[in-house]
Structure 1
Amino acid sequence: MKVAIMGAGIAGLSCAITLEKQGITPTIFEKRNKVGDRFINAESMFSILDRPIKDNLSYISENYNINLKPIDEINKLSIHSKNEIGNIEEKIGYTNIRGRHENSYENQLAKQIKCNINFNSNYEYEELCKNFDYVVLATGDGEYASHLGNYRCDLTCTIRGVTVEGEFITSNPHIWFNYDIIPKGYAWLIPFSEKEANLSIAYPDYPDNIKLNINDMWDRFYSLACKDSDQNFKITDKFEITRYMMGICDKPKFDNTYFVGNCFGTISPGLGFGQFSSILTGVYAAYDICKMGCYQELTKPLFENYNNSLVLRKFLENLTNDQLDFHIKNLDRKVISKLVDKLCETNNSSIDILKLSTPVMKLWNEYKEFKGQKIQ
């Protein structure tokens, strides 16, 4: 059996690890010159968004023997709005490094495979289809799925990020919602050591946002982040991604072609996370190839989670700064705090917060849409 994997990211490598455990040696094609050959950035896995699974890393280790070491376990998430700061103080997930860093998830996964990776590959999908029994598309974006007419793009986003030096608590990432500075978007700070962190902004490319000057937006947010952190950060590296497609494939599989990772559509529109789903798509594709499961059935919960996350994004976009202030201020009130802590208890709660809250958020979104139509 000949299996080609296009892409040596976390989805493609997870697929390769799983295939090898079943005695199949895939051939991996990677257009870059090494694993993780991109900018360094920090990301998060929030187990609370993937219920009923209670601990993402333990789950993939115990069920699929894929082992990853995070930067730290998150025990405090600080959320900033225009005038308020609220905290979720509970173990809700993990932070990790991506990209060319030696401890990135890509490099950790690469150490768990035996097969060779063909770097600087110029092979295209059409060629691989002719020479392999199965092709796994794990190229890191929706381009191939879109090219094959198998992709629903819900929005595109612009992201600008930097590595900053300062003093950080690795178990305490921060997120900002301030629509005066970043309309309909958000920003985050995720430490990947006590001295370095990733500081980024992300916003949708809606018509009104396209008119904005990203440099002005960045300068205003950077000043705010320094002020809120009471530090003068030193920038040591930077990156920018423009018009990045955020969407999901229509079908997870065409004949003997599998769409995994961001080719599948694993980035959550709500808050931009997707690493856990990327790993699962890689594993599930390998299961289907090995006749151990049905890819279409295995990925159904991932489709549901994506669509729920899209509702979350629209809900957040429909809030005003005053409404964001109200919700975030309430995070630190005793009754709300206890409720949040109960829902976030990693070891004891299997409540799917995103799924349960989706109907309420849908009603709010429909109300805002109806109200907007009446005004027009």
Structure 2
Amino acid sequence: MVFLIKVAIMGAGLSGLACAITLEQNGIIPTIFEKREVVGDRFVNLEIFLSILTKPVTDVISFFTENYGIIIHPVSNIKNLHIYSENEKSKIQGNLGFISLRGRDSDSLENQFSRQLKSKIIFNSKHTYEELLQEYTHVIIATGDAAYTSKIQVFNESLTVSLRGATIEGDFDKYSVCAWLNNKLAPKGYGYLIPLSEKEAQIVIGYPDYNGIKNINEDQLWENFYKEVCTSLEQDLRITDQFKVKNYIIGLCNTPRIGNTFFVGNCFGSVMPFLGFGQFASILTGIYAALDICGKGNYEQLTHKLRESYKNSLALRRGIELLDNKKLDLFVSGLEGKLGERLFNSKYDFLRIGGAILRPITKTK
């Protein structure tokens, strides 16, 4: 029996657009419903594809091009990673990953993906999931909001985090990323600097909203972090723009597919808890959902490794949360030299191995 496949995609973010691209490649033209006015209608920010987090894939740009026909133009590749703790620092070199641009910019990943599409995008959409379910044979939930998933099914929330960031002007190596592991700057969290160009970069701190951290003076944390970045880079950096995100949910959906409804991106649980990046998994969930609809795979089976990666990443986060600044000093100093470069440039997935070891210790199921 032949029936007409009609696919509705709720959300024009990375996962929804990746799904649409893959459907089009297989002869299915979906309709995309976006509640905002344009693609990428959010604050501009920089993110990274870090190869140590995507193994066995070490080059995500060629991976998506050669395997799925999706073209990504990064801001730059990452050659150097500088990691700072309270009293130590390390430098790691190699083919470490790529920098990407997100949000309200014509070169953002969202806008890059939209230019690879022919599908209709309905902006300022008020359509509900229930309405689309009656009109379309398949619905992709790609709203980017875990809270939306929790209306439909159980969403297993692991933690919420607060983020604060700024665009800064100075002199930067556009191929070098910096990270800070220091509980005085970001309790049980992290800070990072990602360059946009040789004159502009973005700095961010992120930390969990645990009891005891919630009530901390966030303005003082931010001031301390900003001063530390200036000290580490030996520059007086000028802030040109700022953003805040409060209570951002990190978690994993209970079921990737319910009937002919697929949960992708943040609605699936693509943000990896360890360092908070999730672009790689987000794009894959969109692709995998499309392949299932096209009869080329089983979504639950295809996303199984992503679910395991999430759990390993959560175990790593819980493990590093146990470290005080003295132990973070030891950790960072241990990454200096050949050990760190072997860890980051090896073909082996040491984070998967480390996460698997830590799961029973941290009671991560």
TM-score (normalised: structure 1): 0.93
Q: Which residue of the other structure, out of 132, 137, 161, is the alignment partner of 1:133? A: 137
Q: Secondary structure at the match of 1:209?
A: coil
How far the C-alpha of 1:41 sits from its partner, in A, is 0.5
Q: Which residue of the other structure, out of 40, 45, 48, is the alignment partner of 2:49? A: 45
- Superposed, which structure 2 residues align to 1:1-376 within 5 Å? 1-332=5-336, 337-345=337-345, 349-362=346-359, 365=362
CA distance in 2: counterparts of 1:115 and 1:83, whole angstroms: 52
Retained in 1: the 8 A contact 2:40–2:103?
A: yes
How far the C-alpha of 1:131 sits from its partner, in A, is 1.0
| Unmatched tracts of structure 1, length 5 or more | 370-376
Q: Which amino acid aligns with 1:315?
A: G
CA distance in 1: counterparts of 2:321 and 2:327, whole angstroms: 11
Measured at CA, do residues 49 and 115 of structure 1 come closer, stay the same or move farther in structure 2, by a change above 3 Å?
A: same
Retained in 1: the 8 A contact 2:155–2:253?
A: yes
Q: Secondary structure at the match of 2:310?
A: helix
Measured against aligned partners, the alpha-carbon deviations of 1:296-324 in whole angstroms (never above 9, x if no partner) come to 00000000000000001001100110011
Retained in 1: the 8 A contact 2:312–2:359?
A: no
Length, aligned pairs only: 360
| Unmatched tracts of structure 2, length 5 or more | none
Q: Secondary structure at the match of 1:241?
A: strand
Could you tell me which residue of structure 2 aligns to residue 373 of structure 1?
A: none
CA distance in 2: counterparts of 1:79 and 1:343, whole angstroms: 14
How far the C-alpha of 1:272 sits from its partner, in A, is 0.6
How far the C-alpha of 1:360 sits from its partner, in A, is 3.8
TM-align CA RMSD: 1.4
Retained in 1: the 8 A contact 2:264–2:286?
A: yes
Retained in 2: the 8 A contact 1:49–1:353?
A: no
How far the C-alpha of 1:364 sits from its partner, in A, is 5.6
Q: Which amino acid aligns with 1:354?
A: L
CA distance in 2: counterparts of 1:363 and 1:285, whole angstroms: 31
CA distance in 1: counterparts of 2:51 and 2:80, whole angstroms: 14
Q: Secondary structure at the match of 1:128?
A: helix
CA distance in 1: counterparts of 2:334 and 2:344, whole angstroms: 16
How far the C-alpha of 1:362 sits from its partner, in A, is 4.0
Q: Which amino acid aligns with 2:350?
A: I
Q: Which amino acid aligns with 1:75?
A: K
How far the C-alpha of 1:166 sits from its partner, in A, is 1.1
How far the C-alpha of 1:141 sits from its partner, in A, is 2.1
Q: Secondary structure at the match of 2:143?
A: coil
How far the C-alpha of 1:106 sits from its partner, in A, is 0.6
Q: Which amino acid aligns with 1:97?
A: L
How far the C-alpha of 1:11 sits from its partner, in A, is 0.5
CA distance in 2: counterparts of 1:63 and 1:223, whole angstroms: 44
